[in-house]
């Protein structure tokens, strides 16, 4: 299905996100003939440059990001870039929005595009308060000719519950909730969407998908990258707000949600919101035993020496910001009561890996020796990235005398499903937003519920900035070996810090 003809305006067009993600994703959509028939992009930012200069820079960026070198692809890229325009103006200043308005009117006339506009805020978060209001002041948040308006907002969506509510309020006073698309790129990942299909298109998993058969769930999302050149942003947010409040909580929601009444955006988002509302908010006492935060020190990644977090650019030399979180979450509802969800995430760790492990309960009696004695042999492992795959582990007898058990694995690898390379998350999400499908975007109530869970933790850390902050060597597996966490040894680990 093709989206309606429209113009996409990208605010923050000279930034990183535009050239690393947005334009490459649009080019991929263009190559697969998925863009609307009549379509134009307007990049808007403060940097003065002509459309030609902008196109030339983007040509270099996109071919580097997508590793394009052959002639036919390069010429396709040049064709795509003809759809891309650039204007510079001060987005702080409402008066200057006239420049954008005129450009839109010009392109609509020139290419016979109806008045359907989608705005993408790829800007620093400080601009989220300003751009929607300025669009409203200039009457650009509504169409007088019956066209559509949409706005896509990048994370961080708020800094805490209060700021998220303020931002929601502001957005809802300028756009209708159905026109607001809060992006979480984890929901654009193929493997993440497949959690829904795995759960709701197969009869064999659902009867087991509850506290009676599941022992615990682990969600691991580790990175080798440090804060790169994002120190200024990261030192304020830390891992809890950067990864947990959004990406990892979305993964939890997909694993834990009830089957929706129907597979439409609102029914799915209703179920996601219910999971967040059921998250157990820890008392200060409980928190001590269930959350560990860490910060990376100097170390080696791929045999290359890297600096510690406190020496990163734009990071305070005495910063207590966490770059690592290990945490046990509980969902207080009938399906999950008493079943722990463990999450681990951090920067500058040994490997880049995002994985969900469902640990099933053991058999009531253990007859055999070998790998499955003493613990369950059954795990369902959903590997989100890299090497996307799903594996089911179980015990089988080793050939020969006796009954010695070995854990074996039934593996499915995504690259056997289709010849095509998996689309980047932004391709799917941009296309969905253009189509007006909000299934994979966060809704305001879910978002606010997630902040209600996060806020008390941040408040506690604010009161005691350095208390219990663990340190770990860059290139290691975190403050202590990850496999220890599931053994409910948080108290023990804490003593190590």
Please give the positions annotated as active site.
247
How far CA 427 is from CA of 44, 185, 424, in Å, comes to 20, 10, 5
Q: Which residue bears the tokens 């990850």?
A: 482
Would you say 269 or 347 has its CB closer to ligand BG6? Answer: 347
Site residues (CB under 6 A) for ligand BG6, limited to 129-148: none
Interface residue with ligand BG6, options 88, 108, 179, 242 (CB under 6 A): 242
Cβ at position 155, least distance to ligand BG6 in Å: 6
Give the whole-angstrom CA distance, residue 456 versus residue 161: 10
Q: Is 347 annotated as a binding residue?
A: yes
Q: Is 486 annotated as a binding residue?
A: no
C-beta atoms surrounding 69 within 10 Å: 9
Tokens of 259: 């089957």
Would you say 118 or 243 has its CB closer to ligand BG6? Answer: 243
Cβ at position 221, least distance to ligand BG6 in Å: 6
Give the whole-angstrom CA distance, residue 394 versus residue 406: 8
- Identify whether the C-beta of residue 370 lies closer than 8 Å to the C-beta of residue 395: yes
Binding-residue pattern over the window 345 to 384 for ligand BG6, x denoting contact by CB under 6 A: ---------x------------------------------
Binding-residue pattern over the window 43 to 82 for ligand BG6, x denoting contact by CB under 6 A: ----------------------------------------
Cβ at position 340, least distance to ligand BG6 in Å: 23
Site residues (CB under 6 A) for ligand BG6, limited to 208-227: 223, 225
Q: Is 467 annotated as a binding residue?
A: no
Would you say 98 or 314 has its CB closer to ligand BG6? Answer: 314
Would you say 3 or 227 has its CB closer to ligand BG6? Answer: 227
Q: Is 464 annotated as a binding residue?
A: no
Q: Is 185 annotated as a binding residue?
A: yes
Cβ at position 243, least distance to ligand BG6 in Å: 6
Would you say 223 or 468 has its CB closer to ligand BG6? Answer: 223
Give the whole-angstrom CA distance, residue 325 versus residue 237: 13
Would you say 81 or 153 has its CB closer to ligand BG6? Answer: 153
How far CA 117 is from CA of 123, 149, 366, 398, in Å, comes to 18, 5, 62, 63
Give the whole-angstrom CA distance, residue 112 versus residue 287: 58
Q: Could you report how far apart the first and last alpha carbons of the chain are, in Å?
A: 54
Q: Is 189 annotated as a binding residue?
A: yes
Q: Is 348 annotated as a binding residue?
A: no
Q: Which residue bears the tokens 């509302």?
A: 277
Cβ at position 239, least distance to ligand BG6 in Å: 8
Give the whole-angstrom CA distance, residue 479 versus residue 470: 6
Give the whole-angstrom CA distance, residue 198 versus residue 213: 17
Would you say 81 or 253 has its CB closer to ligand BG6? Answer: 253
Tokens of 335: 């399906």
Tokens of 424: 């980047």
Cβ at position 246, least distance to ligand BG6 in Å: 7
How many residues touch ligand BG6 under the rule CB under 6 A: the total is 4
Cβ at position 423, least distance to ligand BG6 in Å: 13
Would you say 225 or 417 has its CB closer to ligand BG6? Answer: 225
Q: Would you tell me the crossing angle of helices 425-435 and 23-31 to the nearest 10 degrees?
A: 80
Cβ at position 224, least distance to ligand BG6 in Å: 10
Residue numbers belonging to the annotated binding site for substrate:
185, 189, 223, 242, 347, 352
Interface residues toward ligand BG6, by CB under 6 A: 223, 225, 242, 354
Residue numbers belonging to the annotated binding site for NADP(+):
46, 155
């Amino acid at each position: 299905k093709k989206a309606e003809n429209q113009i996409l305006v990208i605010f923050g067009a000279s930034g990183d996100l535009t050239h690393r993600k947005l334009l490459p994703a649009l080019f991929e959509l263009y190559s697969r003939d998925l863009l609307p028939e009549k379509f134009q992009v307007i990049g808007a930012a403060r940097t003065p440059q002509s459309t030609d200069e902008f196109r030339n820079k983007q040509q270099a960026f996109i071919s580097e990001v997508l590793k394009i070198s052959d002639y036919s692809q390069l010429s396709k890229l040049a064709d795509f870039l003809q759809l891309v325009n650039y204007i510079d103006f001060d987005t702080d200043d409402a008066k200057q929005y006239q420049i954008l308005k005129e450009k839109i009117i010009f392109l609509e006339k020139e290419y016979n595009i109806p008045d359907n506009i989608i705005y993408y805020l790829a800007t620093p978060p400080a601009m989220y308060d300003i751009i929607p209001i300025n669009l409203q002041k200039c009457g650009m948040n509504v169409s007088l000719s019956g066209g559509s308006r949409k706005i896509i907002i990048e994370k961080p969506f708020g800094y805490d519950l209060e700021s998220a509510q303020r931002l929601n309020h502001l957005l809802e006073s300028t756009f209708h909730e159905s026109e607001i698309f809060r992006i979480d790129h984890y929901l654009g990942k193929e493997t993440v969407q497949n959690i829904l299909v795995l759960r709701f298109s197969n009869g064999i998993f659902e009867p087991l998908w509850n506290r009676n058969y599941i022992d615990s769930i682990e969600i691991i999302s580790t990175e080798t990258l440090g804060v790169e050149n994002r120190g200024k942003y990261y030192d304020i947010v830390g891992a809890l707000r950067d990864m947990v409040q959004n990406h990892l909580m979305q993964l939890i929601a997909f694993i834990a949600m009830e089957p929706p009444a129907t597979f439409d955006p609102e029914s799915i988002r209703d179920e996601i919101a219910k999971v967040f509302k059921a998250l157990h908010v820890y008392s200060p006492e409980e928190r001590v035993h269930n959350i560990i935060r860490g910060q990376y020190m100097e170390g080696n990644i791929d045999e290359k020496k890297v600096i510690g977090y406190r020496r990163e650019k734009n990071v305070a030399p005495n910063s207590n910001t966490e770059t690592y979180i290990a945490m046990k979450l509980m969902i207080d509802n009938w399906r999950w009561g008493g079943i722990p969800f463990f999450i681990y995430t951090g920067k500058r760790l040994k490997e880049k890996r995002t994985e969900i492990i469902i640990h099933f309960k053991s058999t009531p009696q253990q007859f055999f020796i070998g790998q499955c004695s003493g613990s369950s042999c059954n795990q369902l492992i959903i590997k989100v990235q890299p090497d996307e795959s799903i594996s089911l582990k179980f015990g089988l007898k080793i050939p020969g005398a006796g009954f010695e058990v070995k854990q074996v694995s039934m593996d499915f690898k995504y690259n056997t499903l289709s010849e095509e390379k998996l689309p980047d998350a932004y391709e799917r999400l941009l296309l969905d937003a253009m189509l007006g499908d909000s299934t994979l975007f966060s809704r305001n109530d879910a978002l606010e519920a997630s902040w209600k869970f996060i806020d008390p933790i941040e408040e506690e850390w604010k009161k005691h900035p350095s208390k219990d902050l663990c340190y770990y060597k860059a290139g290691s597996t975190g403050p202590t070996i990850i496999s220890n966490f599931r053994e409910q040894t948080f108290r023990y680990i804490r003593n190590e810090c």
